[in-house]
Amino acid sequence: MVLIKCTKCGQEINDNSKFCQYCGARLYSTKNNNEKWYQKKGWIIALLFLFFPAGLFLMWKSNKFNKTTKILVAIFFVFMFIITPASQEKQNINQANKTTVENKSKTNKKSTLNKVNNKNHKVNPTDMTIDEYTTYLVNNTIGKTTNMGNTTLIKHTYSKNDNELFLELYANENFSSNMTRRGIIMDSKDIFKKFFNDRKDVRSLVLGWYLTLVDQRGNEKLSRVLLIDMTKSNANTINWSNVITDNIPVIANHYWVHPALK
């Protein structure tokens, strides 16, 4: 309670009184006239939302709010402006850490795949599935693409009943039909050598080679130009380090060549 002097009789009275209790004079309080804008209750409440520290400071200095109200408001705004942002920041950090772990996992998977395709990296071919090994075999013998930019491996088929793997491959082109055919046989030799050295669990490997041929009417068509297959039992009798490339068609279990390459 604040005491003020009556402007008529000079007695001290409560500043909330409208009339002097001694002389009955009507009182016109100068309290609000001397009050600055930031001391007014409305502005203090506004500052609590606009600029929390200043609003909280002015609220505690003001006598317009009781102690309980001040404590509750302080707790509310501390929770809103300090605890909640800290919790959100912790959540963001956890999310960032989770993203980092996921990215690291993806990188590790990609690294593993690259190692499979890397010629210099030691891998165990017998641990791969047929699908994985087929890509590994082609990439590590004759390469992913041909000299004309085509993807070497067109498709592959594995027959469980026959225990036979059939690869359909794009061949490299050369200056002449004879050189193209001989290049295909050399590539076939490299594939057979590695395949039967790596995989003891497959009975037979068939290679179908393709090129884009032009018919008499000028139409282009992807056509099979050479077919060669070999069994494991046959491959085990070959000294791959000394065998002559030109003898591969004779040694193979089956050999066929398109007239365009003869």
CB 208 within 8 A of CB 258: no
From first to last of the 262 residues of the chain, give the pLDDT tens digit.
567 778 778 788 877 777 787 887 776 654 444 567 666 777 777 766 666 677 667 777 776 677 787 787 777 777 776 666 656 666 766 676 677 667 666 665 555 555 555 544 567 898 899 999 999 999 999 999 999 999 999 999 999 999 999 999 999 999 999 999 999 999 999 999 999 999 999 999 999 999 999 988 999 999 999 999 999 999 999 999 999 999 999 999 999 999 999 8
Cα separation, 175 vs 196, in Å, equals 31
Q: Where are the domains of the chain?
A: 1-25, 125-261
Cβ contact 112:104 at 8 Å? no
pLDDT of residue 211: 97
**What Å distances lie between residue 104 and 33, 109, 115, 121, 164, CA to CA?**
68, 9, 16, 21, 38
| End-to-end alpha carbon distance in the chain | 118
What confidence score (pLDDT) does residue 60 get?
72
- Predicted TM-score (pTM) of the model is 0.56
Residue count (the chain): 262
Query: CB–CB of 254/246 below 8 Å?
Result: no
